[in-house]
Amino acid sequence: MDEQEYQMDPRLQEQRRKRREELRKKRQQRKMIVYAALAVILVLVLVLAIRGCSKKKTADNPNTSDPDQVQTGELEPVVPPEEQTPVAEDAVATLAAVGDVMCYDEQISDASVSGGGYDFTGAFARVKDQLKAADLTVGNLETNFAGTPYSGYPNFSSPPQLAAALADAGFDILQTANTYSLENGFNGLTSTINTLSDAGITAAGTYASRESASENGGVILKEVNGIKFAFIAYTKGVNGRTRPSEYNYCVNLLYTDYTGSYTVVDETALQQSIQSAKALEPDVIVALLHWGGEYDILPTDSQNSIADLLFRNGVDVILGAHSHVVGPMEKRSVTTVDGETKDVFIAYSLGNFYSSMNRENTQPSALLNLTFTRSGETGKTTISKAEYVPLYIADMGADAQTQYQVLDIEAEIDRYIGGAEDRVPSEVYTQMRQAVNVLHQNAGDALAKY
């Protein structure tokens, strides 16, 4: 077959076409293989480049996490959340304080009930909620529970129902180191302590036995809401009487010349009490003091000297009594003997809380409310708030169900203006309007700083 015939042969043409097609497919396959190889190489290059940058960042910043990097001692260990120590929450506790609780003959008569017995609860009914709102409530008990015959001034032996009513009103601690601690002898002193204890109230500053006087150095320790309060209590004297030598532990005395001169402060006893309090590791130390002169609004030099001594040695709060009138209240900043600078608070006198006195300035008084906060972060306890409620001992008249009542002045003024059915008589309203201005003037404006 010649060349022309060869070229024209259909069978041969088909074979050539198939070979060309196979060659074309092979060329395409080779291209695909080359392209795939190039793609793989490109991906590998990109991966290596990214990982190289990541390692560089880790080297520049050791805190950057890299799964391929081995931790070394130069890196801070990561503490799991469950192993981290949480910051404690702040603790808060409140302390309410009032002045003198007294009980004259007319108050005993007012509390008597038909058929026998006594009921004093009506006297405190209108301030009970304010008293019970605090975590701790304290006052000064200037009477005894020495049994019958019951009497007011000068012996002051009150029915035990008064103790029950005070407990019902919310009192936790009553100062019993005062003018009338020994008015009915040592037996009267111990009977008073026992009657209060039976009612659920702790007596402060007097002791029925040497063992009780020695326990915690005579310091009362109360803990509320995780905050510990240590209380010490002292009186300037015992109405001219001498503490029995065989019972020389029975009452804490501010002065060594306590029978009348009141010039030599018993600094040793005070400092020992404070050290005993500190040994209990409290958050707050409170001193209850029966001091000063009757009906004197302003403090004496001796009172100021005692206050300075107590604050320097670690006392945080001083609550005063005895004058029967409201005295100054103030916040101070002090530096203690331990080198700590802190805020302290003093109320020289809170007046009469319950009494039938009608001498000038003896009917208004103050319910002092102090709030203490212990920081969960620092553990330091501070006085975070201080305020007072003006009170008034009202004579509601002989025809009233309860003649002598302790009233919240501002609340009762609002009730009177609002026309409440059980509002106080108009003469009591007028007395309270006059009394509240005098009370604020005597107390001072220290609380405005809080």
Query: pLDDT digits over 223-251, tens only?
Result: 999 999 999 999 999 999 999 999 999 99
Listed range (69-78, 138-147, 292-301, 303-312) with the worst mean pLDDT:
69-78
pLDDT band at 180 (very low <50, low <70, confident <90, very high): very high
pLDDT, one tens digit per residue, over 244-261 is 999 999 999 999 999 989
pLDDT band at 444 (very low <50, low <70, confident <90, very high): confident
- pLDDT at residue 5, as a whole number: 46
pLDDT, one tens digit per residue, over 85-132 is 677 899 999 999 999 999 999 999 999 999 899 999 999 999 999 999
Q: Answer whether residue 20 shows pLDDT above 80.
A: no
Q: Answer whether residue 4 shows pLDDT above 60.
A: no
- pLDDT at residue 49, as a whole number: 58
The whole-chain average pLDDT of the chain stands at 88
Q: Answer whether residue 431 shows pLDDT above 50.
A: yes
CA 62 to centroid of chain Cα atoms:
47
- pLDDT at residue 260, as a whole number: 85
- pLDDT at residue 448, as a whole number: 54
Task: Taking residues 321-329, report their average pLDDT.
Answer: 97
Mutual angle of helices 161-169 and 185-199, in 10-degree steps: 40
Listed range (74-78, 195-199, 332-336, 408-412) with the worst mean pLDDT:
74-78
pLDDT, one tens digit per residue, over 24-44 is 665 666 666 656 666 666 666
Please say whether the beta carbons of 106 and 144 come within 8 A. no
